[in-house]
Amino acid sequence: TQLLEQSPQFLSIQEGENLTVYCNSSSVFSSLQWYRQEPGEGPVLLVTVVTGGEVKKLKRLTFQFGDARKDSSLHITAAQPGDTGLYLCAGPNTPLVFGKGTRLSVIA
């Protein structure tokens, strides 16, 4: 079974700060997905990365897939309170393998 380790588990920062969260595995993934779950809602897909070394940007969010396709990172620039939530990475399988998530709190 492929396992995904996410770090940090919790992160609390001030509005305007930058942050990076990580998703790591000992296995190679053909693709990786990032989801965000806002309080009281279900997770929503942010992005899928499929190519080693790939970088995708979604406004202030930058996603990177490692060259070896065993790790991924999510960088948020100038965090805002609306970024608060649980960030989950997921690897391709049936069913998807989810990491335990990074719980981000952005304080105004």
Partner 1 sequence: NAGVTQTPKFRILKIGQSMTLQCTQDMNHNYMYWYRQDPGMGLKLIYYSVGAGITDKGEVPNGYNVSRSTTEDFPLRLELAAPSQTSVYFCASSYPGEAQPQHFGDGTRLSIL
Contact residues: partner 1, CB under 8 A: 30-31, 33, 35, 40-45, 48, 50, 86, 88, 90, 92-96, 98-101, 103
Helix count and strand count (H, E) for the chain: 0, 11
CB 72 within 8 A of CB 89: yes
CB 101, min distance to partner 1, A: 5
Query: Which of 13, 46 has the CB closer to partner 1?
Result: 46
CB 45, min distance to partner 1, A: 4
Query: Which of 58, 78 has the CB closer to partner 1?
Result: 58
CB 40, min distance to partner 1, A: 8
| Residue among 108, 102, 106, 82 nearest 34 (CA) | 102
CB 32 within 8 A of CB 97: no
